Amino acid sequence: MKKNYTAICSLIFLAIIFNGCINVNQVTVINMDGSGTINLHYWTKSSNISTGGGQDAMQMGDDIGGFSFVDGVIKEKYNTPVTEIKEMKRYNDDNDTTTHISLLIAFKDFNKLSEAPGFAKTKTKWAKGEDGMDFEYIIAKDTTIQKRFIQGGEQLNYAFEFPDKVEKSNGVIDGNKAKWSNGVGDLADGSIDMTATIKTKSKICAMFGFELPVVVLLGLFFINRKKILKRNNK
């Protein structure tokens, strides 16, 4: 019994260590209607992952910090009613002995992204506000991360491309893009909040949606009325 207890404690200890050994680069494109795509790339030291990596390889190290390295589990996390994997690649980098997963994911509604298991720890918002479109992407605090076990170089990099200019943001603004970079250990202290306000179309452009047809109809009405009056005065 004591031996089993020691083994369980060892697995928990390893899980805590592995939880911080992940690097993430995520590039998201959001359309005005809330649909879009996500290029998700994450990697870890190959020694952190169980050998084999096949469909049945579910030993400690196949899921690190919520990011899986098992094909079947990856599909379960990102092939959902609200998200779909368009491309999936796995490769090893012999230079730094790391294993990489690269995904192209399409989503229908940014506001429903957290319904996919792979994004369950996030809170999203894409809605019209007073100054434009309000954007939020919040990653919840992770209480399992132990900062003393983190190697120091693990990064969470997020970039978002919007349909129009970024008016303000707590990230780094570059035209219609905003970027954020945090250490994995930051999640041990609290959530990572990414916010922005996106410029909406001008009133002139908005006329093409509703106001312009009304103006055209009124113009046609007055033109016809003028023709009728002119004909009656002859």
pLDDT of 168-188, one tens digit each?
999 999 999 999 999 988 998
pLDDT of 230: 67
- Give the contacts of 233 (CB within 8 A, at least 6 positions apart): none
Of residues 119, 139, 147, 154, the one with CA closest to residue 48: 154
Residue 206 pLDDT class (50, 70, 90 cuts): very low
Asked if residue 30 has pLDDT above 50, the reply is: yes
> Average pLDDT in the 181-207 region?
82
Q: Which whole-number Å values give the CA distances from 217 to 203, 204, 205, 214, in the listed order?
A: 18, 17, 18, 5
Contact 111, 46 (CB under 8 A): no
> Average pLDDT in the 208-221 region?
61
Amino acid identity, position 127: A
Asked if residue 4 has pLDDT above 90, the reply is: no
Asked if residue 104 has pLDDT above 60, the reply is: yes
Give the range among 8-22, 148-162, 194-208 with minimum mean pLDDT: 8-22
Give the per-residue SS3 of the chain.
CHHHHHHHHHHHHHHHHHHCCCEEEEEEEECCCCCEEEEEEEEEEHHHCCCCCCCCCCCCCCEECCEECCHHHHHHHHCCCCEEEEEEEEEEECCCCEEEEEEEEEECCHHHHHHCHHHCCEEEEEEECCCCEEEEEEECCCCCCCHHHCCCCCEEEEEEECCCCEEEECCEEECCEEEEEEECCHHHHCCEEEEEEECCCCHHHHCCCCHHHHHHHHHHHHHHHHHHHHHHCC
pLDDT of 146: 62
Q: Over the chain, what is the mean pLDDT?
A: 82
- The ranges assigned to domains in the chain are 2-200, 203-234
- To the nearest whole percent, how much of the chain has pLDDT over 90? 59
Residue 53 pLDDT class (50, 70, 90 cuts): very low
Instruction: Look up residue 222 and give its two tokens.
Output: 């007055």
d(CA 137, CA 196) in angstroms, rounded, equals 9
Model pTM? 0.75
pLDDT of 229: 67
> Average pLDDT in the 141-169 region?
83
pLDDT of 138-148, one tens digit each?
999 988 776 64
pLDDT of 185: 87
| pLDDT, greater one: 184 or 76 | 76
Residue 93 pLDDT class (50, 70, 90 cuts): very high
pLDDT of 52: 46
